[in-house]
Structure 1
């Protein structure tokens, strides 16, 4: 039996002295899509940063059976690729140059990208329908186009684990579907593993194999979308009034106005 792509055991993270994650356990099987949901401040992005090696977590995280802290930086970059909420893009950078940054783990120190690196970048741009964008500056692209470029850089790394932190938060519904369909197609075609965070609960439930609900730095529910997206759990942890409707690909979460409170006259 192969090792899980991600194994997190009793992960505890404090930032500026404040506890953010308080004993999180999480397992993601190879090839699985797991999405972490939860209210603001639950610790979702912190969890992804720890899995990606951006926060210290000695002894708590293993990637494909290897303790995370034993992976050198270049080794980790060949295993894990991250698409952050708002990646920092150097001013004036062209699409091809940005995507080639994903090949950094394969370029020797003081070396230049090889023909194989260029081929990998061109290939992923073609697969993401960005073939005509090589020389365009990222600043001139639409939100959906930029998001595809961010994804292209991650895929150019050749990593088998994708960490997606709110990958569609700034996109309209059309671009959301476009990006997520691309991720799912590539996952199935190339055996990628996806660990994501999302605010849109209906979208999360439609694409993920499994949802993990975080609240106050702890896992309070984990399972298939229909097991986690329930009116009771969402009312308890989001303090939200919703209706959950069963859809073709997963539960659909519909916000509804709460019953008005009766104000007694003095």
Structure 2
């Protein structure tokens, strides 16, 4: 029986920026419908990995999406397959929320054409799901950081891609909206077969939602496996230089930062 084609397949990915090696020999496969979260200390190469998978950095021979080499996909074809939520997307000045989310429908609109009734219906549905229906006419610049983050996610979901790349998707959200956004993404993954490749700093939240985790350190994969296999006190202490306790939770390991024991006073 032929094994299923991975949604993402990365082989010997090497990325250098300004002559500095960032990723050195990354091998990674993400199954269709899987949620994989990449963690690691600052500068480990997490965002660079997502940008390469999304076609924003040159790596056409090292990345395949659903069996097709990245370099063989035209820009509009790639946009129908993969949608990215970056940490700090560029927003045109003066743009309203509805118009920004409609940009996610561009891969389906003919050149010089206009959005259809179906395109608008998709956008309004996504805005409603993310509790943004009342913000349609607001300019993005007037929104809070958390509200803007939900709008960025709305544009990606409106794109209708089967692979979602999330680069720190909850960094600007309060805890309530963090849970709402991640629950929505997970619901879409389960009901629509969405594949998720994410980076996250909050290790406890990452462990609750990921099927599998990848720990990057110094541009290489230091560990890969289930959250229970990757979120260990020894691995986190070594690669993050952090003092933590890891305790079992109902949906995954919970990582608790702890103060180091001070040396005794002499």
Common fold by TM > 0.5: yes
Among 43, 46, 67, the residue aligned to 1:44:
46
| Corresponding residue of 1:110 | 112
Q: Superposition pairs for residues 251-266 of structure 1, below 5 Å?
A: 251-261=253-263
CA RMSD of aligned residues (A): 1.3
Among 7, 25, 29, the residue aligned to 2:9:
7
Contact 1:230–1:244 (CA under 8 A) maintained in structure 2: yes
| Corresponding residue of 1:191 | 193
Q: Superposition pairs for residues 44-193 of structure 1, below 5 Å?
A: 44-193=46-195
* Deviation >6 Å, runs of 4+: none
> Number of aligned pairs?
264
**Gaps in structure 2 of 5+ consecutive residues:** none
Post-superposition offset of 1:140 = 2.6
Alignment partners' CA distance in 2, 1:222 and 1:107: 40
Q: Which moved more, 1:139-148 or 1:227-236?
A: 139-148
Contact 2:130–2:181 (CA under 8 A) maintained in structure 1: no
**Gaps in structure 1 of 5+ consecutive residues:** none
Post-superposition offset of 1:263 = 7.3
Post-superposition offset of 1:149 = 1.4
| Corresponding residue of 2:206 | 204
* Counterpart secondary structure, 1:162: strand
Contact 2:83–2:163 (CA under 8 A) maintained in structure 1: yes
| Corresponding residue of 1:237 | 239
Contact 2:6–2:29 (CA under 8 A) maintained in structure 1: yes
TM-score, normalised by the number of residues in structure 1: 0.95
TM-score, normalised by the number of residues in structure 2: 0.95
Post-superposition offset of 1:80 = 0.4
Contact 1:147–1:179 (CA under 8 A) maintained in structure 2: no
Alignment partners' CA distance in 1, 2:130 and 2:139: 17
